[in-house]
Amino acid sequence: MSEKLSTLIRERRSVRKYDPSVKIEKEEILQMLEVATKAPSTSNLQPWEFLVFVDPEERKDLRTIAYNQEQIETASAVVAVLGDKEFYKNVEPVYESMVEAGFIDAATKEVLIGNANKTYPYASEEAMKNMATFDAGLAAMQFMLIAKDRGYGTGTMGGFDKVKFSERFHLADRYFPIVLIAIGKENAQSYQTTRLPIKDKVKFI
Ligand SMILES: Cc1cc2nc3c(=O)[nH]c(=O)nc-3n(C[C@H](O)[C@H](O)[C@H](O)COP(=O)(O)O)c2cc1C
């Protein structure tokens, strides 16, 4: 592992105090998400969407929904990571773009679509949500490390009312909220955390 990657991972921590005067351009957030979503996903069906909160008015309501966590309003932005429980509906654009890029041929595309259509539409909602949650989590983690690399702090929040969130921000039925990620400039050091010994968590068999 490179020194740089190791330092980024070791020094990331959840930031809860932000400098409220710092703005991050939408374009920069988009670029970070573009790289973050190079994450792997189930059949490459990319079961994630992101609702990026920059507007102060919208964030007042979001703060209430997130049990008054102050970083909702003081961070430069809050990225809501959404899962897509009907991600098999992405088959056509996903596999067609791989054909257009010259990575697969048209026959392979049809095989991939056939495989996806044989499986995912028959999976339970719970299974679909689990797959989407895991995949979106991979992208979310990459986003946090990319943000750290660019000098920003981030903080994941699972503490919010997911039903109220879906209602207030009019999520279509196929999408569900997973976490909120605050992003901005840290203005007071958060406490550090430890991890249990890795040897207690790993078994080689
Ligand atoms: C899914 C998830 C939900 C979390 N929810 C909250 C939250 O609602 N509020 C908060 O302040 N921190 C929240 N955290 C941050 C954790 O408390 C934090 O990651 C953990 O204590 C380890 O600290 P570190 O991130 O600084 O390494 C959450 C983290 C995860 C992964």
- Do 32 and 147 meet the contact criterion of CB atoms below 8 Å apart? yes
CA torsion sign, 161 to 184 to 16 to 138? positive
Number of other CB atoms surrounding residue 66 within 10 Å: 24
- Ligand 1 geometric centre to CA of 158 (Å): 7
pLDDT (0 to 100) of residue 111: 97
Segment 123-154, tens digit of pLDDT:
999 999 999 999 999 999 999 999 999 999 99
**Structural domain count of the chain:** 1
Mean pLDDT of 177-196: 94
Q: Is residue 111 part of a domain?
A: yes
Q: Say what the pTM is.
A: 0.97
Write the DSSP symbol of residue 96: H
Is residue 110 in a domain?
Answer: yes
- Ligand 1 centroid distance, CA of 187 (Å): 18
Could you tell me the distance, in angstroms and rounded to a whole number, from the CA of residue 141 to the centre of ligand 1? 12
CA-160 nearest atom, ligand 1: 8
Q: How far apart are CA 138 and CA 142, in angstroms?
A: 6
In a domain, 160, yes or no: yes
With respect to residue 205, please indicate whether it lies within any of the assigned structural domains. no
The DSSP-derived string for 3-63 is HHHHHHHHH--B---B-TT----HHHHHHHHHHHTTS--GGG---EEEEEE--HHHHHHHH
Query: Does 86 reside within a domain?
Result: yes
- By residue range, what is the domain housing residue 127? 3-200
Q: Is 184 helix (H, G, I), strand (E, B) or coil?
A: strand
Q: What is the model's pLDDT at position 67? A: 98
Residues with CB under 6 Å of ligand 1 are 13-14, 16, 69, 155-159, 179, 193
- Candidate from 8, 12, 13, 14 with most ligand 1 atoms within 8 A of CB, to mutate: 14
pLDDT at 115 over 90: yes
Closest CA to 132 of 164, 86, 165, 201: 86
Beta strands 175-184; 153-157: pairing state: antiparallel
In the three-class reduction of DSSP (H, G, I as helix; E, B as strand; rest coil), residue 183 is classed as strand
Residue 19 pLDDT > 90? yes
The number of C-alpha atoms within 13 Å of 184 and in the hemisphere containing its C-beta is 25
pLDDT for 12: 97
Is 155 contained in some domain? yes
* CATH number of residue 140's parent domain: 3.40.109.10
| Average model confidence (pLDDT) across the chain | 97
Predicted pLDDT at 59: 97
For 38-51, what is the mean pLDDT? 98
**In a mutational test of the pocket of ligand 1, which residue from 156, 183, 193 has the highest number of ligand atoms less than 8 Å from its CB?**
156
